[in-house]
Amino acid sequence: MATTTNYSWTTPDDTALVKDGAAAIRSLGTAIDTTVFTNAGAAIAKTIVDAKGDIIAATAADTVSRLAVGANGTVLTAASGQATGLEWALPASGGMTLLSTTSLSGATTTISGISGSYNNLFGIIYGVSNATATGVFRIAPNAATTACNERLRDDTNSDIANGYYLLSSQYNPLFTSTSNIFTFTISNYASSSIIKPISHTSSFIRTGTTWYQNLGNGSYNATTEITSLVFSNAGGNHSTGTVLLYGVK
Amino acid sequence: MTKSTRPIVRIHNIETDEVIDREMNDDEFAQYEAEKAAQAIAKAEAQVKENAKQAILDRIGLTADELKTILG
């Protein structure tokens, strides 16, 4: 007997007798009925999805389920705790987030309430001026004035122990000029178990119009999480200056 | 009412974005004064050193730049 190409249903041969036709048709019909029934049972009904963006996911071997579309901006993420093994989640964020923009003013300016949700802190400070007196520009993490060590990479190559972290080396920027910029990084600032490395770069005018550059590195020698930074000038009040504080993942 | 002469400090709470400008409290002011005194001492000591250096240069009749050149 001849058979069909895809499902091998039995069909009459070209030479089959007419008397065999009814049986052949019945046999073919039964075969088609069986195949269609089986295939329909194995198919995924389109009614399983309800809305735009819905997807179909397996909950076990040979078992499927609808997973509703996630919120805008979310991405599909493997999640073994979920029935479908998937979930819509916000993409992991990275890079830098601006935490605050703070204007320097007075004898000290404290940035408090720093979130511990980042790996590092990065700061840019510019346009610093001082109306009353010039002085070394510095940071005190958590207002601690005796907790930082620093190695100055400048013409002094000197070490500072148990003090402020100095952003201008041991030199006094000419703070009647606002031509200055400082950057600093504090790593692992949110840790409550290790000390925190600090590094900085700076560029400022010391006298006349001559620019001075320096850099340094050191640490905040406490295991306490840093939640605040105090900026000050040894010797006088800040008039202007902007601190941009970033959290870095 | 007497007007306080204590320096002003600024506190920017970035959780609430609240900025407070207030006078230094007793502890802050005490530390501020202690630092000022220490700076004055350090400045005086540096000046004494500088004067001694200059006295030597004057005695040998050289300027600081000339001495640098010699030691070059």
pLDDT tens-digit series, residues B27-48: 999 988 988 888 889 889 989 9
pLDDT in tens, A18-59: 666 778 788 889 999 999 998 888 888 899 999 999 999 999
Domain count, chain A: 3
Q: Is the pLDDT of residue A109 over 90?
A: yes
- Residue A167 sits in the same domain as residue A145: yes
pLDDT in tens, A63-100: 999 999 999 989 999 999 999 999 999 887 778 999 99
pLDDT in tens, A194-243: 999 999 999 998 878 888 888 899 999 999 999 999 999 887 888 899 99
Q: Chain B residues with CB-CB distance to A under 8 A?
A: 7-17, 19, 21, 24, 28, 31-32, 35-36, 39
| Chain B residue nearest residue A132, CA to CA | B7
- Residue A80 sits in the same domain as residue A21: no
- Residue A76 sits in the same domain as residue A12: no
Tell me the pairing of strands A55-60 and A63-67. Answer: antiparallel
Query: Alpha-carbon distance B56 to B43, whole Å?
Result: 20
Say which of A102, A107, A113 has its CB closest to residue B15: A113
Looking up residue A147, the CATH number of its domain turns out to be 2.60.120
Distance from the Cα of A141 to chain B's closest Cα (Å) equals 14
Distance from the Cα of A69 to chain B's closest Cα (Å) equals 33
Distance from the Cα of A113 to chain B's closest Cα (Å) equals 5
- Residue A28 sits in the same domain as residue A113: no
**Could you tell me the residue range of the domain that residue A85 belongs to?**
46-89
Q: What is the ipTM of this complex?
A: 0.72
- Residue A159 sits in the same domain as residue A69: no
> Given an 8 Å threshold on Cβ–Cβ distance, is A237 in contact with B39?
no
Strands of the sheet containing A120-130, edge to edge, are: A96-103, A238-248, A120-130, A180-187, A196-207, A210-220, A148-153, A159-163
- Residue A137 sits in the same domain as residue A198: yes
pTM of the model as a whole: 0.68
- Residue A82 sits in the same domain as residue A117: no
Across A135-195, the runs of DSSP E, i.e. the strands, are: 137-141, 148-153, 159-163, 165-166, 180-187
- Residue A143 sits in the same domain as residue A25: no
- Residue A218 sits in the same domain as residue A102: yes
- Residue A125 sits in the same domain as residue A169: yes
Measured between beta carbons, the chain A residues lying within 8 angstroms of B14 are 99-100, 102, 111-115, 245
- Residue A60 sits in the same domain as residue A34: no
Query: Alpha-carbon distance A45 to A81, whole Å?
Result: 26
